[in-house]
Amino acid sequence: ELKTELTDHLWVFENYPTNPAIFSSNENRHFAITDYEVVDEPHVKYGIMCFPEEKLTIKFGFDQTVYEAEKIQEILNHIHGLINMILQNPIQAIGDYKL
């Protein structure tokens, strides 16, 4: 009965290598990566994608017909606060952080 409504949000932490150095020195190889692009169009009401590169990049997408911008800003403020708490005390147990 739920079908596509079973999951209405998504949090993705991309952990595959995205180091630009993998594109250098492709000579003498039978196979070479020359470029890549991440394309994602989740079918959920909102999604958060994290890319751990030189700097942590977080992308947030949402269905504007479901959520108002103010509500999304509240969610982003909570995430920002949580990240700051983790940075201040990175050895704390995850269950001890409070939103």
Sequence ranges of the domains in the chain: 1-63, 68-99
The SS3 call for residue 61 is strand
What pLDDT was estimated at residue 46?
Answer: 80
CB neighbour list of residue 45: distance below 8 Å, 6 or more residues apart:
8, 9, 62, 63, 66, 67
What pLDDT was estimated at residue 89?
Answer: 92
What pLDDT was estimated at residue 8?
Answer: 72
**DSSP H or E stretch at residue 50:** strand 46-52
**18: pLDDT strictly greater than 70:** no
Highest mean pLDDT pick, 2-11, 37-46, 89-98? 89-98
Q: What is the pTM of this model?
A: 0.58
pLDDT tens digits along 20-54: 665 565 565 666 666 666 666 657 788 888 877 77
